[in-house]
Structure 1
Amino acid sequence: MNATAASGPRLLNRELGILAFNERVLAQAEDPDMPLLERLRFLTIVSNNLDEFFEIRIAELKQLRLRGREPAESRAARDEIVARARRLVERQYALLNNTILPALATHGVVIHLSGTWTEAQRAWAERYFDSEVEPLLTPIALDPSHPFPRILNKSLNFIVELHGQDAFGRKAGVAVVQAPRALPRVLKVPPEVSGAPHGVMLLSSIVQGFVDRLFPGMTVRSVHQFRLTRDSDLFVDDEEVTDLREALQGELSQRHYGDEVRLEVSAGIPDSLVGLLLREFELDEHDCYRVAGPVNLVRLQQIIGLVDLPELKFAPFEPAVPAVLREKDLFAAIRKRDILVHHPYESFSPVMEFLVSAARDPKVVAIKQTVYRTGADSALMQALIDAAQAGKEVTVVVELMARFDEETNINWADKLERAGAHVVYGVVGHKTHAKMAMVLRRESGRDGTKLRRYAHLGTGNYHPRTARLYEDFGLFTANEDICSDVHEVFRRLTGLGQRGTLRQLAQAPFTLHEMVLASIRREAANARAGRKARIAAKVNALLEPTVIDALYEASNAGVRIDLIVRGVCALRPGVPGLSENIRVRSIVGRFLEHSRVYYFWNGGKKDVWLSSADWMDRNLFRRVEVAFPMRDRKLRDRVIEEAIEVHLRDNVNAWLMDADGRYAQRKPRKGGKRHQAQMELLARLAAG
């Protein structure tokens, strides 16, 4: 039995795996022990994930169908995918309406909908509508001289049924009103108006409450929200492109108007209006989601920031700065030994200091860095700009194809170039996903001055904000072999030529896949020889067929295998005669598990690799990725404990997969101790 037979069609695995992950996230929102506003946050995270799921994954399946290239297995899977997505959405709104909103109301957090306004609330909403909203609205009647307006991706819109005649004698029918994008979707209502300490109103309620003002003399029969999701993937022809940035800028301008994929409408909308919208957008009934509440739950996350109730949120924490990094001379500390940091438990500030101090240090002559996601307001990018303006040699490999961050990265590339930095975009057809930074410093020694390299390698992005939410590792090192390899990878990205041999790093698309397969097969050979063998890995996704087959073979050879796969996993554990020695679990908690760790027993040598790469086709063959070994024994053992062993003990946030691919949440035994990996690490590391 091979991987494909055991795990089913790959498209089915991927799409249903994404939905299964979001079901696990939604279970966090359903957990009554979770702080109430955090439950709301998890609910909105699911909605955000589903938006991307439709924009990218479902859009891809639709494109295959339109081109007549849809595989038979994906045609069979489509109905199951749609049905499961619909059940997930229904669970969301049921949880919101029946549990979260009533519970919030008991704490004075109330959403005032237009149908329940008091006179004071209506007067307040009316003043806001007149002064802030109405001047920005453009009602569009649908008739031969007013065609259906272009609807932006994921924008808030209203379809209005009208009756009567206007000043020109035109008979009323249907109109569309598009909500202004410049206005906040959630508004704080003064307590004296609200009657509750934390009252809010939705912009959608205010527009609906006064939409009749837009059609004077007409009768508004009904008004309903709708939202359209479009294909948001960008296409650049690798063979035809001559200027990647220019090509992307052309594509970005059209992203908001990609092909239609999903229609969301408020419950109670007449079938006639749904039919009109579906015809206009060339969608089918199965593409329509009728929802019992706001059509965009993501916007409700704004409530969390507007409400000052710490008891309804996770307790704040301050990430620790490791003692070794508190020294005044950061470079001297790195020269002494390799230094490991584990975010978000340990602070991201040393990574920022590494680059900010390099920009200011007169001994630093050059800085090189990869940029995948860094944010629109980044102190790290500003440090690179400062360094370039100070005359240092700054080279930045900017990945322009980082999905949904393309525009931000183009803007940074432009600013860096204007500051005098060397900006390159990696290799067309291979996203640069590796996380690397290198500083070259001219230092004095016994033999005079020489250039010394310092490197930082990570499993996550150079993004200070997400570093407080995503779990990742980073390594500072001055090891000459590793730094030489980092230099070589940068050379491959910026120049041309045949690849050289790397001393320590494994790099995709060249040697990383080979290293993983060889390591798995070595464990299998050791097990067959009667020696101890073990494999453990922590990744975001596992889909690559040859890696899955190798793991099945290792299991049959007797290797104990523990896989911590947060998201999609095509491997099936516990299948008799195939994967009896494999266990798969997913950890879903306060922080997003994001690090990639590969652990092989190797006869007691304990090979441990940290990487930017998941075990997926795209990471191993179509991206530039690196994996770097933990050479220091203490750091290696620390990674094994903090990335692997503590999560294997988790019986609160862990979900175990069965042989059919279903997940069940692990629970502590009656009277047994609760183990919550993230909270244990928070207590252990953030305390310093």
Structure 2
Amino acid sequence: MTYTNRELSLFEFHKRVLAQAKDPNHPILERLNFLIIFSRNLDEFFEIRVAGLMKQMDLNLITTAPDAIPNEVVIEKISELAHQAVEEQYQILNYTLLPQLQHYGIRFIQYADILEKHKAWIKEYFFSQVQPVVTPISLDPSHPFPRLANKSLNFIVTLSGKDAFGRQIELAIVPAPRSLPRVVRLPNELSGGQEHYILLSAIIQQHISDLFPGMTATGCYQFRVTRNADLTVAEDVDDLAVALKGELSSRRFGRAVRLEVAKNTPEKLHQYLLEQFDLDPQHLYCVDGPVNLTRFLANFDIAELRFKPYQPIIPKALRQTHQIFDVLSKRDFLLHHPFDSFAPVIQLLREAAKDPNVLAIKQTLYRSGPDSEIVQVLAEAARNGKEVTAIIELRARFDEESNISVANILQEAGAVVVYGIVGYKTHAKMILVVRREHDKLKRYVHLGTGNYHAGNAKMYTDYGLLTTDVDICEDVHKIFQELTGMGRMAKLKKLFHAPFTLHAQLMQLIEQEIEFAKAGKPTHIIIKVNALTEPLLIAALYKASQAGVKIDLIIRSICCLRPQVTGLSENIRVRSIVGRFLEHTRVYYFLHDGEAKLYCSSADWMGRNLFSRVETCFPIEDKKLRKQIIEQGLLNYLKDNVRAWELDQHDQWHPVQATENETPFIAQQYLMDERNIKPTA
């Protein structure tokens, strides 16, 4: 088989994240954090990927994926892998992480751990904080099984006795209030000043009978349902924002795709809940612990149990305030987040908002948030009389509601807000500032591989280019015109852009490497992206490998290409880096007969990015910056022998380990150390 199944490849990435929770070289609280990240990843995997497969099966649709594996077979394999991974997850939690945390005075008290000394405090907390907002729901002919929200924590309760109306009620549902914290810190007098926490689920279980006066709760069991959370909005809607608002509420009550229950839940209740959610037994997960681990992490202030804090570097030339336009006029700047600070990007906008010579600011926003400083600065610029245009992608998954709020803030400030192109998500990352200088207009541009989200810039690796290159600035201007107006495809000088030229240009660059190989010249392709799924590009890489082109792929998550297959891909090596920061840079390198063509982009090598989204791909032409990316952003990651995994021809990922003769090398750590020793100019 030439192609790997996309969903199964994505699940393998989630397993690599889970493996970080076992790594003794990570601080203990970071290992717990990786465990929770795995839970969040798994939630989204079921909400989107598994839900999509189940929807296709419900509609009797046949898969059109290149691997041609039937949907039912993929779901069965996912179920097998997910059950194994979830069991491993709770083993790590119960037998490794929680015992080690207790060694540091951090303890999570579950229902079975409640001691006599805890009961008075729990009782007071329950009646003052929990009971007033809990709504128990009896199950009887006049009270059918309730609609329970996606990923909400609930309890199914078995009862004996009669209620106030003399009814014999045997079952009830108790939804845990979503407004309450899932983890509550115990007072110092009960914990000896240590970090002791009790789970909300334990508090409710301890007093479950008090929710049913005159009756006795004979059993109380946690459960949680995961639902289809993908949104579908017709392309012919009159107002995208209004349509999305209507769809957002349905996300909470989509088709059920997974049921999690506490391990001690009786088999009879398993069957009852599966029937209520119309699920097969393969979608049932019995877990040995809390069913809602995504909200398990408390705010600890124990530095020794965390990664050593890292302070991003601001390039020396950009540290002076109120001079950014003068500095950018002289040369391009490259920012590699989170090793370099995101502050210069915000500073560019902040100065533009106040500078009387700035006439216009245009920006794309994919994920930012209404509390973002960038959004506030854009609003300030609009109020200051600047021509502010924001291209806001309302359909950024799980950020739809936030982006609607951003649009409202900017519109109220007087900015022009555009939702992009119907049928094409605007995923490009661009800022354009137009400034009057010496009676002429000059453009300043920022292009990035990641979102304009200051929080993400501290956790995700991304590149950003600040430039005044005339051709690049003109290209960006044309793309903004393309997004806000109507007309023919913009003819660009230096940028490639999807859905128009990017895919064809990539195919051509690969073909050129093939021609160089046939001519006996040295060749090398290095691609660093989050995912590789597009069949035509994969086929082109196979062809290049067979022609003798050396190919290194650094793929964070999904890889549908199979490397090291005899006669097909012997010259292709695939690796993945999973470490402290989430790898997010998109970089394309082609040796090109020694002339080294290098591009950064907002686009992964996926069909959706290349054909269904607005994306940008920009060249790095400055020799110094190009060398920096090649050495630090590519070759550096190919040397990692601690946080790297390599993919074999059988779709198996293996952790890379330093040999006896090798010095352990961590790419991300090197980039942090390199900047602390030798700050960027």
TM-score by length of 2: 0.97
Matched, 1:400 2:402: no
- Aligned residue for 2:66? none
> 2:676, 2:170 → 1: CA distance?
61
Measured after TM superposition, the shift of residue 327 of structure 1 is: 3.2
- Aligned residue for 2:316? 323
1:443-490: per-residue Cα shift (whole Å, max 9, x none)? 12xxxx111100000000000011100000000001110000000000
1:507-539: per-residue Cα shift (whole Å, max 9, x none)? 000000011110011001000100111100100
Among 540, 554, 560, the residue aligned to 2:550: 560
Among 605, 609, 616, the residue aligned to 1:615: 605
Amino acid at match of 1:221: T
Among 568, 583, 588, the residue aligned to 2:573: 583
- Aligned residue for 1:213? 210
Asked whether the 8 Å contact 2:111–2:201 carries over to 1, the reply is no
SS of aligned partner of 2:494 = coil
- Aligned residue for 1:174? 171
- Aligned residue for 2:506? 516
Matched, 1:194 2:186: no
> 1:196, 1:576 → 2: CA distance?
62
> 1:410, 1:186 → 2: CA distance?
31
- Aligned residue for 1:442? 436
Among 253, 270, 273, the residue aligned to 2:269: 273
> 2:194, 2:188 → 1: CA distance?
5
> 1:376, 1:217 → 2: CA distance?
48
Farther off after superposition, 267-276 or 92-101? 267-276
Among 108, 119, 123, the residue aligned to 1:122: 119
- Aligned residue for 1:133? 130
Asked whether the 8 Å contact 1:345–1:685 carries over to 2, the reply is yes
SS of aligned partner of 2:290 = coil
- Aligned residue for 2:385? 391
Measured after TM superposition, the shift of residue 288 of structure 1 is: 0.9
SS of aligned partner of 2:144 = coil
Asked whether the 8 Å contact 1:372–1:402 carries over to 2, the reply is yes
- Aligned residue for 1:17? 9
Matched, 1:457 2:453: no
Asked whether the 8 Å contact 2:434–2:444 carries over to 1, the reply is yes
1:543-602: per-residue Cα shift (whole Å, max 9, x none)? 001100111111111111100001000111111111111100000000000000000011
Among 461, 466, 480, the residue aligned to 1:490: 480
Asked whether the 8 Å contact 1:109–1:196 carries over to 2, the reply is no
> 1:131, 1:243 → 2: CA distance?
45
Gap regions ≥5 residues in structure 1: none
Asked whether the 8 Å contact 2:360–2:433 carries over to 1, the reply is yes
> 1:672, 1:59 → 2: CA distance?
45
1:413-438: per-residue Cα shift (whole Å, max 9, x none)? 11111111110111111000000001
- Aligned residue for 2:28? 36
Amino acid at match of 1:198: E
SS of aligned partner of 2:380 = helix
> 1:289, 1:604 → 2: CA distance?
54
> 1:671, 1:481 → 2: CA distance?
49
Asked whether the 8 Å contact 2:449–2:585 carries over to 1, the reply is yes
Cα RMSD for the two superposed structures: 1.0
SS of aligned partner of 2:198 = strand
Measured after TM superposition, the shift of residue 279 of structure 1 is: 1.1
Farther off after superposition, 253-262 or 221-230? 253-262
> 1:435, 1:512 → 2: CA distance?
15
- Aligned residue for 1:356? 350
Asked whether the 8 Å contact 1:555–1:561 carries over to 2, the reply is yes
Matched, 1:651 2:641: yes
Among 92, 95, 107, the residue aligned to 2:104: 107
Asked whether the 8 Å contact 1:345–1:686 carries over to 2, the reply is no
Measured after TM superposition, the shift of residue 377 of structure 1 is: 1.3
Measured after TM superposition, the shift of residue 379 of structure 1 is: 0.4
Measured after TM superposition, the shift of residue 134 of structure 1 is: 0.3
Asked whether the 8 Å contact 1:346–1:686 carries over to 2, the reply is no
Amino acid at match of 1:259: R
1:1-56: per-residue Cα shift (whole Å, max 9, x none)? xxxx3124xxxx11111110011111111011210000000000000000000000
Measured after TM superposition, the shift of residue 172 of structure 1 is: 2.3
Measured after TM superposition, the shift of residue 196 of structure 1 is: 6.0
Measured after TM superposition, the shift of residue 194 of structure 1 is: 2.2
1:295-343: per-residue Cα shift (whole Å, max 9, x none)? 0111112x2x2x2211111000110101121234101111100100100
SS of aligned partner of 2:26 = coil
- Aligned residue for 1:634? 624
Among 210, 217, 225, the residue aligned to 1:228: 225
- Aligned residue for 2:463? 473
> 1:286, 1:686 → 2: CA distance?
51
Asked whether the 8 Å contact 2:50–2:75 carries over to 1, the reply is no
- Aligned residue for 2:45? 53
TM-score by length of 1: 0.97
Among 420, 427, 449, the residue aligned to 1:426: 420
Count of aligned pairs between the two proteins: 672
Matched, 1:6 2:2: yes
Amino acid at match of 2:302: L
1:226-285: per-residue Cα shift (whole Å, max 9, x none)? 1111111000111x3221111111111221111111111101101111111111111111
> 1:686, 1:504 → 2: CA distance?
34
Farther off after superposition, 591-600 or 367-376? 367-376
Gap regions ≥5 residues in structure 2: 64-68
Amino acid at match of 2:301: D
> 1:115, 1:553 → 2: CA distance?
60
- Aligned residue for 2:494? 504
> 2:115, 2:191 → 1: CA distance?
9
Among 281, 286, 289, the residue aligned to 2:285: 289
> 2:490, 2:48 → 1: CA distance?
36
Among 139, 143, 153, the residue aligned to 2:140: 143
Matched, 1:547 2:537: yes
SS of aligned partner of 2:593 = helix
1:381-421: per-residue Cα shift (whole Å, max 9, x none)? 01110111111100000001000000000111111111111
Asked whether the 8 Å contact 2:110–2:201 carries over to 1, the reply is no
Measured after TM superposition, the shift of residue 86 of structure 1 is: 1.0
> 1:608, 1:382 → 2: CA distance?
34
1:55-105: per-residue Cα shift (whole Å, max 9, x none)? 000110111011111436222222111111111111100110111001111
> 1:221, 1:106 → 2: CA distance?
35
> 2:365, 2:30 → 1: CA distance?
31
Asked whether the 8 Å contact 2:334–2:464 carries over to 1, the reply is yes
- Aligned residue for 1:89? 86
> 2:191, 2:159 → 1: CA distance?
31
- Aligned residue for 1:416? 410
Asked whether the 8 Å contact 2:370–2:409 carries over to 1, the reply is no
Asked whether the 8 Å contact 1:574–1:583 carries over to 2, the reply is yes
Asked whether the 8 Å contact 2:361–2:388 carries over to 1, the reply is yes
Amino acid at match of 2:6: R
Asked whether the 8 Å contact 1:544–1:615 carries over to 2, the reply is yes
Amino acid at match of 2:274: L
> 1:85, 1:116 → 2: CA distance?
28
> 2:451, 2:124 → 1: CA distance?
44
> 2:453, 2:659 → 1: CA distance?
39
Measured after TM superposition, the shift of residue 686 of structure 1 is: 4.5
SS of aligned partner of 1:30 = coil
Asked whether the 8 Å contact 1:61–1:70 carries over to 2, the reply is no
> 1:478, 1:686 → 2: CA distance?
28
